[in-house]
Structure 1
Amino acid sequence: MKVDRLVSIIMILLDKKRIGAQELADMFEVSPRTIYRDIDAINMAGIPVRSISGVGGGFEIMQEYKVDKKIFSTADLSAILMGLSSLSSMIREDELVNALAKVKSFIPIDKAKDIELKANQICIDLSQWMSNTDIQPQLESIKIALQESRLLSFEYAGRYGNKTSRIVEPYQLVLKSNHWYFQGYCHKRNDFRLFKLSRISNLHVQEEIFIPRDYQKPQLDFSDMLVTMQTEIIIRIHKTVMDRVLDYCTYEHFLPDGDEHYIVRFPFIENDYCYDILLSFGDKCECLEPLHVRTQMKLRIQNIAALYKD
């Protein structure tokens, strides 16, 4: 019994009011007996298909199970297709492919071209230009563990590279700022933790099934906290890094300084992450003030230069 044939039959039944066994058999080049077995399997899966005998009879999905195509507007279908397409480019799963096929089955023929045009007006590609090739198989393993409530075992690298062995109950996959995480209850810490997939190695789905506990969603929005912590520093940049600096502040923060440079009021928090951002601009960026940030930048640059001395 081919799963792809079953899925195709379901799609046809969702799209048509009724279709005969012989017509399905001819379509898939199998015997009517095979089609009857397929219909039994679809019924066992929980999709109510009934058989109507006589002239004009055949198989049909009960109307109560179908969704009226008219409830979706052109904008609705375009938005759904756009969202599913952006996910399927990153998680190539049969579930997403089937979901896309189902949504497309709701599209009236006379509106297909218009909906396709609108769906293609915005492209959302969540994959990175350069990425860790281990992430994709990790995503698939975690999805299996989530669906089946199975424990995950792995080694986790801390901020400074120290590795610890973890046994974790997975509860949620999180995509945040182009990085994948998963939230789970860590048996080592006896608490919920957010794990970054790029720090995970030797990931295995365990046979042991856990009983889900009350779930605590991770805190992902730190906007209010950042507002209280952020200050502004003054940097001078070359125009060649302007596009990168615009990732962190708006054009209103820029003041032209001659033909080649800009003076920028740059949002800043005094931690390694923000100092590393400034250093990533290389010799195309100079911190002008405050003095203590400029002094710290000098020290960090000197430390980097010391690494390359013979």
Structure 2
Amino acid sequence: MQIQRLFALTHYLLANRSATAAELAQRFNVSLRTVFRDIDILSSAGIPIYTSQGTGGGIFIDNDFVLSKATLTSEEQKKILLSLSSLAATKQDDLSFLLEKLSGLFQNQPSDLIEVDFSRWGRTGEDKDKFNKIASAISGNQLLGFSYINMQMAQSNKIVMPIKLLYKSQAWYLIGYCQEKQTYRTFKITRMSEVFVKAETFDRKNLPVKELDKTEQISYTMIPLVLKCSAETVHRLYEDFHESQVTIAKDGTGILRAEVPDTPWLYGFILSLGGEAEVLSPLRLRNKLCQMIKELMNRYSED
């Protein structure tokens, strides 16, 4: 336990370069006496950690000190390379170069088992360019500007402090701190256009942390769906739902029972099954689908 804490303390100082004893005691849930004892142990081991008293004092680590690759296990090295491989798939040259350097350092080949394609059909270059700009702004703590169309089809220009990308409910989102609203907002990336990265930077440490946890919960109205699907298309259910939610009858037909979000995706999914599926409940969903089908028939019927 002490060894793990010593490594964690060293990594923390490497990331922050300095900290107070009280800060370290609180972070690692130990006493001040234990913190200073750990510092003595690390110093005795040759790690250049020193303390300074008075105003502006604290515990510091030499700016030129780096940890050897030996501090990372083989499994940890593989995880780092795997993560970088997925990011490099966005075609960012700087990440690919970093991946090559770390692969040589670790004496391990980067994984080529992951390919991430953020683009929609027919818009390969445009979508990848958008994701690259967003990723660049996030990693560089730079302000991000874009035009956005919300669910009410209202268009507006946004300047946000981008925090992270989120994949949820079949779509990619950007979580960012909106300068105009002075709060966190979640933006669907397919509704973003004219994306540009500003030279102006921001400090993440100055942003409210607790609010960020709330934005990650993208809430929808959930409805209990019971859907019957033919044997020929039952495989489609497994693409979007867990196998425990599907029951297969002797004739090969499948029954899906699941809590699903009441969103346009749901209606598009059901309609994509055509005549091979039937909504058994809820009745409200059946009626809405009937209305949508009638409107489609009227639209495409001959006069």
TM-score norm. by structure 1 comes to 0.61
Q: Identify the residue that residue 53 of structure 1 maps to in structure 2.
A: none
Q: Identify the residue that residue 183 of structure 1 maps to in structure 2.
A: 175
Contact residue 92 and residue 132 of structure 2 kept, 8 A: no
1:71 and 2:64 matched: no
Specify the SS of the correspondent of 2:280.
Answer: strand
Contact residue 149 and residue 210 of structure 1 kept, 8 A: yes
Q: CA deviation at 1:286?
A: 0.7
Q: For structure 2, list consecutive stretches of 5 or more residues without a partner in the other structure.
A: 1-61
Distance 2:144 2:69 in 1: 41
Specify the SS of the correspondent of 2:92.
Answer: coil
Distance 2:230 2:180 in 1: 48
Q: For structure 1, list consecutive stretches of 5 or more residues without a partner in the other structure.
A: 1-61
Distance 1:194 1:252 in 2: 31
Contact residue 153 and residue 203 of structure 1 kept, 8 A: yes
For 1:157-196, what aligned pairs fall within 5 Å after superposition? 157-166=149-158, 168-177=159-168, 179-196=171-188
1:217 and 2:212 matched: yes
Distance 1:282 1:184 in 2: 38
Aligned residues: 234
Contact residue 120 and residue 127 of structure 2 kept, 8 A: no
Specify the SS of the correspondent of 1:136.
Answer: helix
Distance 1:147 1:258 in 2: 53
Deviation string 1:236-286 (CA, Å, 9 cap, x unpaired) is 112333232123433333333454522232433444443333223222211
Specify the SS of the correspondent of 2:102.
Answer: helix
Contact residue 149 and residue 169 of structure 1 kept, 8 A: no
Distance 2:203 2:217 in 1: 31
Specify the SS of the correspondent of 1:287.
Answer: strand
Distance 1:272 1:70 in 2: 51
Q: CA deviation at 1:101?
A: 2.4
CA separation of 1:258 and 1:306: change in aligned 2, threshold 3 A? farther
CA separation of 1:188 and 1:309: change in aligned 2, threshold 3 A? farther
Deviation string 1:207-227 (CA, Å, 9 cap, x unpaired) is 55667642442646549x77x
Deviation string 1:156-187 (CA, Å, 9 cap, x unpaired) is 11224331123x13231313146443333334
Q: Identify the residue that residue 114 of structure 2 maps to in structure 1.
A: 124
State which drifts further: 193-202 or 272-281: 272-281
CA separation of 1:290 and 1:157: change in aligned 2, threshold 3 A? closer
Q: Identify the residue that residue 237 of structure 1 maps to in structure 2.
A: 229
1:251 and 2:250 matched: no
CA separation of 1:140 and 1:235: change in aligned 2, threshold 3 A? closer
CA separation of 1:124 and 1:149: change in aligned 2, threshold 3 A? closer
Higher Rg: 1
Q: Identify the residue that residue 292 of structure 1 maps to in structure 2.
A: 284
1:80 and 2:70 matched: no
Specify the SS of the correspondent of 2:232.
Answer: helix
TM-score norm. by structure 2 comes to 0.63
Specify the SS of the correspondent of 1:189.
Answer: coil
Name the aligned partner's letter for residue 246 of structure 1: Y
CA separation of 1:107 and 1:264: change in aligned 2, threshold 3 A? same
